[in-house]
Structures are given as structure tokens and as C-alpha cells.
Amino acid sequence: MRSCSYFLMSSAILSALTVTGYAAADEPVKPMRIGMIGLDTSHCLAFAELLNKQQPDPEVAGFRVVLVYPKGSPDIESSVSRVPAYTEKIKALGVEICDDLDTMISQVDAVLLETNDGRPHLEQVAPVLKARKPVFIDKPIAGSLVDAIAIFELAKHYDTPVFSSSSLRFSEAIQEIRGGSLGPVTGCDAYSPCSLEATHPDLFWYGIHGCEALFTVMGAGCESVVRTSTKDFDQVTGVWADGRIGTFRGIRAGGSGYGGTAFGANGVASLGKFDGYRPLVVEIVKFYRTGHPPVSAEETIDLYAFMEAADESKRRGFVPVKIADVKAAAVEAASRKVAAMTVTESK
């Protein structure tokens, strides 16, 4: 095993925050060392630039990316081709490259799982959760609904906090609507780019952004999904348990962007625009500091079940699909996976 150097370590940092030892509200925030898994998405540089600035914003001060375990996906060209250039750029931000995952985990207090490919996320996050280090998992949380559920089951098994989110969730306009600016939400139509990647379910790769905006506004509780799909467009309609309707429009041609419309008891409002990565990074830091995920496992699982059900609707000829059926099959498969991953611990 090759190890990483300790050039950034100090006794003060070694006693930094852990998931069970956070500073009280009136105490100075102790520094936290953050490790990163993956180096094949622009988020890696965007997050590191915000956290590693010479004079970081007060909301993120004391949280610094110090190590990265670089990982690309050999069968996704847009992933593997980025790693060499991103490696040089992130080193310029003071981040050390570490070629052994277990070593990296042992030297940090929290983790950003940034691998662009969702398929290896369950395998990559397992040692992080076992080490009881809080972890943010960038979108998509996994390459399947089964693995998404397994990640949350594993996090519960190890009693370690985890959350995943698109940056769209924390856009100002969307958060205002979720906070009640329109009164109770009665419906939502969201849209975003929706490029496809053959290795992932259709909406997991990029449609996740618009779907996450939809679920941020609507919340959990979608019961059924039906999809319409052509070469350039997708339209997915969900019916919630209380009778509300939410839709996602995925765009692969013509004018595009991120946005939509929310309908509420007291009015109608735009979902606004993409506000950059800073709002998400601020939430990640709050999560590291408190151990409380800003997004529930239930809502995230419902979101991915919505997208998986959209694929199932397409497979069945664009007929309605019940979310409960999709989730039930996935929960069973996820439980088997987690049992296999943890079986040796009881021996």
C-alpha cells in the first residue's frame, strides 16, 4: 500500500471535528480536513476553489480539501479524459493526490464523493461509512435505485450521516418556495437539460437536476409515474399521494436551461435560475459541522424511484408505473447487497 504524506497534519487538525464531536455554537469552529474521491467532474475544482481560497467566505472557513483520491471511469470518455488536467489544477489549490483510498480516509475528517460515474459509489462510500466519516455524495448518488437504497441502509448500519443533492436544490427561488412563499405547494413543472449516458438510467445522468428541483418543491410522496419520450425530449408526470401533479421536462435539443413553475395556494412563481455551487457548498459545510443531513433519505429515495419508474414506464410502452412497486423490488435487492457487504462483521 502506498500512503500519502502528512505535510498538512498538525496536532490541532488531528483533533478536528468528528461526526460525534462538534463544537458548541459559542466556540470557535475547529478546522476540518476534507478528502475527495474522484477527479472527473467540474464540481471537484468548483468545490475546492470555494473551500481552499486564501480568505474563504465566513460560512465555509475552517473547512479545506486536503487530499484527493483520483478516479475516472474508463468506459465514460467524458470522465476519464478530464482527470489529467483536473489533477494539475487541483494540486495548484494545495490539494495532495493520494493513490490509496483507505489511507486517504484515515487522514481526513469528512469526505466529498465526487466520482462522476454513479456505479462505483456504493463500493467507494462503504469504507468511508465504516470509518464513520460524514460524506456528501454528488449526483447521481448511485448508478441504480438499488444501490441508492443500499447506500442509505449502509449509512444507517454504521450510524454515519450521508446526503446527496444536485446544486439546483439550494437555489434561492426554489428554497423560498419550499419555505412557504406560495403557501402550500399545489403543483410544479420543472425542466432541465437531459443528456443521456448509456451506462446509467436515462434521467440519473443529467435529468437529475430538473427532477431534484421538482422534488425540492413538491417533497416526497409521489405515487405513480408515466413518461413520454422522443429522441430529443422527455416528459415525466408524477401524481402525488394527495392528488397533486408534478412534471419534469428533459431537453436534448433547442433552447434549454434550468427552471420551471411552481403553483401554490397563494400564487404562482418561477423556480428561478441556477445560482452556482456556493449555496450547496455552504450546506455541505453545515452538514459536516452538525451531522444533520439537509435532505432526508426518504426524499432522496423517492426522487430516484421517480426517475427509475420513468425508465420502467418507457420499458412497458409508456404506461403508468406505481412507485411502490419499483421501490419494493429495489429495497429487497438492496437489503441483500448490504447483508453481503456486512456479513463478515458478525463472525
Per-residue pLDDT of the chain (347 residues; tens, 9 = 90+): 444 654 343 333 333 333 334 444 445 556 899 999 999 999 999 999 999 999 999 999 999 999 999 977 888 887 888 888 999 999 999 999 999 999 999 999 999 999 999 999 999 999 999 999 999 999 999 999 999 999 999 999 999 999 999 999 999 999 999 999 999 999 999 999 999 999 999 999 999 999 999 999 999 999 999 999 999 999 999 999 999 999 999 999 999 999 999 999 999 999 999 999 999 999 999 999 999 999 999 999 999 999 999 999 999 999 999 999 999 999 999 999 999 999 877 55
Burial class (CB in 10 A: 0-12, 13-18, 19+), 71: buried
213 falls within a domain: yes
**To 5 degrees, how large is the angle CA 192–CA 334–CA 229?**
30
143 falls within a domain: no
209 falls within a domain: yes
Q: Are residues 211 and 274 in the same domain?
A: yes
| Bridge partners for 68 per DSSP | 36, 97
Q: According to the model, what pLDDT value does residue 2 have? A: 44
| Bridge partners for 67 per DSSP | 35, 96
Q: Are residues 210 and 334 in the same domain?
A: yes
| CA–CA distance, 303 with 181 (Å, rounded to integer) | 23
| CA–CA distance, 323 with 149 (Å, rounded to integer) | 14
| CA–CA distance, 163 with 299 (Å, rounded to integer) | 11
To the nearest 10 degrees (0 to 180), the angle between helices 323-342 and 145-157 is 50
> What backbone torsions phi and psi does residue 299 show, to the nearest 5 degrees?
-70, -40
| CA–CA distance, 290 with 88 (Å, rounded to integer) | 32
Q: According to the model, what pLDDT value does residue 168 have? A: 96
Number of domains in the chain: 2
Strand locations in 89-184 (E): 96-97, 110-113, 135-138, 162-165
Closest among 138, 141, 139, 140 to 150, alpha carbons compared? 141
Q: Are residues 212 and 90 in the same domain?
A: no
Q: According to the model, what pLDDT value does residue 31 have? A: 81
Coil, helix or strand at residue 54: coil
Q: Are residues 105 and 237 in the same domain?
A: no
5 falls within a domain: no
Which domain, by its residues, includes 38?
Answer: 11-117
CATH of the domain at 25: 3.40.50
235 falls within a domain: yes
Q: According to the model, what pLDDT value does residue 347 have? A: 53
Q: Are residues 177 and 314 in the same domain?
A: yes
Q: Are residues 191 and 319 in the same domain?
A: yes
63 falls within a domain: yes
Q: Are residues 233 and 104 in the same domain?
A: no
Q: Which residues contact 107 (CB under 8 A, 6 or more apart)?
A: 4, 6, 9, 33, 35, 66, 67, 98
Q: According to the model, what pLDDT value does residue 13 have? A: 33
346 falls within a domain: no
Q: According to the model, what pLDDT value does residue 29 have? A: 56
Q: Are residues 187 and 95 in the same domain?
A: no
CATH of the domain at 203: 3.30.360.10
Q: What is the dihedral of CA 330, 331, 332, 334, to 10 degrees?
A: 80
Q: Are residues 98 and 233 in the same domain?
A: no
Residue that terminates a domain, selected from 54, 86, 117: 117
What is the pTM assigned to this prediction?
Answer: 0.90
Q: According to the model, what pLDDT value does residue 81 have? A: 86
Q: Are residues 304 and 224 in the same domain?
A: yes
Q: Are residues 77 and 222 in the same domain?
A: no
| Bridge partners for 263 per DSSP | 187, 268
Residue that terminates a domain, selected from 101, 117, 133: 117
126 falls within a domain: no
Q: Are residues 236 and 306 in the same domain?
A: yes
> What backbone torsions phi and psi does residue 54 show, to the nearest 5 degrees?
-60, -35
List the end-to-end C-alpha distance of the chain, in Å, as a whole number: 26
Residue that terminates a domain, selected from 117, 137, 156: 117
